[in-house]
Amino acid sequence: MSDLPPELARLRSSIDNIDAALVHLLAERFKCTQAVGELKASAGLPPADLDREEQQVARLRALADEAGLDPQFAEAFLAFIIAEVIRHHEHIAGADAPQP
The 10s digit of each residue's pLDDT in 11-58 is: 999 999 999 999 999 999 999 999 999 999 999 999 999 999 999 999
- pLDDT of 1 above 70: no
Q: pTM to 2 decimals?
A: 0.80
Q: So what's the pLDDT on residue 55?
A: 97
Q: 89 near 37, Cβ under 8 Å?
A: yes
Q: So what's the pLDDT on residue 94?
A: 87
- pLDDT of 97 above 70: no
The interaxial angle of helices 6-43 and 71-96, nearest 10 deg, is: 40
- pLDDT of 69 above 90: yes
